[in-house]
Structure 1
Amino acid sequence: MTSYGRFIAFYSHKGGVGRSLVLANVAFELARQKKKVLILDLDLGPPASI
């Protein structure tokens, strides 16, 4: 059986609320726990500057 993993999404209508910061911290912590992490920035505005 194929396993697709888990997905976590960070969403807000308003910009400048810290989505990229939260995303980076969560991704870092998961990677530190030896989890596989893929970050996709699908924001229509400026890209995340990480």
Structure 2
Amino acid sequence: MSTSKNKVIIVCVNCLSRNYTFNKSSLSQSERLEIKKFCPTCNTHVLHKETR
């Protein structure tokens, strides 16, 4: 059984800069990824959302 992993990019909600990339399992997670991460452009911890 092989699991399919997709490369996803997450974007800062405030400044829309693309800061991080993750490998996400497409079979087990159907909703978009939302993580509170540090944004170097905003210089704060901000919510980041997955782009498509």
User: What TM-score results when the alignment is normalised by the length of structure 2?
Assistant: 0.27
Kindly indicate whether structure 1 or structure 2 has the higher relative contact order, using CA contacts under 8 Å at least 6 residues apart.
Answer: 2
Normalized per residue, which structure has more strand? 2
**Higher percent of residues as helix:** 1
